[in-house]
Amino acid sequence: MAGAGTIATAAAQPWRTLLVAALESNAHLKHSSYFQLATVAANGKPANRTVVFRGFQEGCDNIHIHTDSRSSKIDEIKHCRYGEVCWYFTESWEQFRINGTLDVIDCSTTDPVKLQQREKSWFSCSLKSRFQYLGPVPRLPVLSAEPSKVDQLDSSSGPVDTFCLLIFDPEQVDYLSLKGNERILFRSRRSSSESRVWFSDKVNP
């Protein structure tokens, strides 16, 4: 981990080392894989919800999130790409507040690499999770007492149109350890090669 005022390259992943350790030490708690994602609505008001951590993108620190293309967060992200993650681990008393930008990868995406990432994420989901994307439109009134039956889903078929992969690209991390009475701010900037260079400073909790 980088010390106060020191610099670490993206390869060193200073804050990610702390996050991975927290995930591992709290792995026996099911809720440790959930965190809050805040976005900005078109009216300027904050919008917050709980999402599931779907892992890191290969080769970088980007965080994967799955969502429905019909959810309100998609319009919010298209209006403003900035978001914040808040993750609290109840066993180790650690909090991570992560600022960054969000990229939506859906059925309209044309980049073949991104589409491959979306397909890989789709097949990483359980069949039960995949069925959720065939359900009624979120936030609309329920039309009947019983949920409508969805068509059978071929387990070998690719992602349905409503499945979205969100890529969260961290730019700043505010780490707080209540047990250790320690707080570290991690900030980044893009280098000339477009890779991230991270700076860290210990601050008062």
Each residue of 52-109: pLDDT tens digit?
999 999 989 999 999 999 999 999 999 999 999 999 999 999 999 999 999 999 999 9
The pLDDT > 90 percentage for the chain reads: 74
Q: In sequence order, what are the residues at sequence separation of 6 or more whose Cβ sits closer than 8 angstroms to the Cβ of residue 156? A: none
Is residue 153 situated within a structural domain? no
Which residues are bridge partners to 97 per DSSP? 86, 174
Our count of domains for the chain comes to 1
Secondary structure of residue 2 in the 3-state scheme: coil
Domain presence at residue 43: yes
Nearest to 65 by CA among 89, 78, 79, 49: 49
Q: Which residues contact 109 (CB under 8 A, 6 or more apart)?
A: 115, 118
CA dihedral 4, 25, 123, 146 (to 10 degrees): -120
Domain contains 66: yes
CATH of residue 88? 2.30.110.10
Give a yes or no: residue 116 inside a domain: no
What does the pLDDT look like over 130-140, one tens digit per residue? Answer: 999 988 888 88
Q: Quick one: pLDDT band at residue 154, thresholds 50, 70, 90?
A: confident
Predicted TM-score (pTM) of the model is 0.88
Q: Is residue 142 part of a domain?
A: no
Specify if 154 maps to a domain: no
Domain of residue 35, residue span = 6-106+163-203
Exposed, middle or buried by CB within 10 Å (0-12, 13-18, 19+), for 170?
Answer: buried
Per the prediction, the chain carries an average pLDDT of: 90
- Cβ contact 145:168 at 8 Å: no
- Residue 11 scores a pLDDT above 60: no
What is residue 27's predicted lDDT score, i.e. its pLDDT? 95
Please give the Cα distance from 181 to 132 (Å, whole number).
41
pLDDT of residue 4: 41
CB 99, CB 84: distance < 8 Å: yes
Q: Is residue 52 part of a domain?
A: yes
Sign of CA dihedral 79, 84, 85, 86: negative
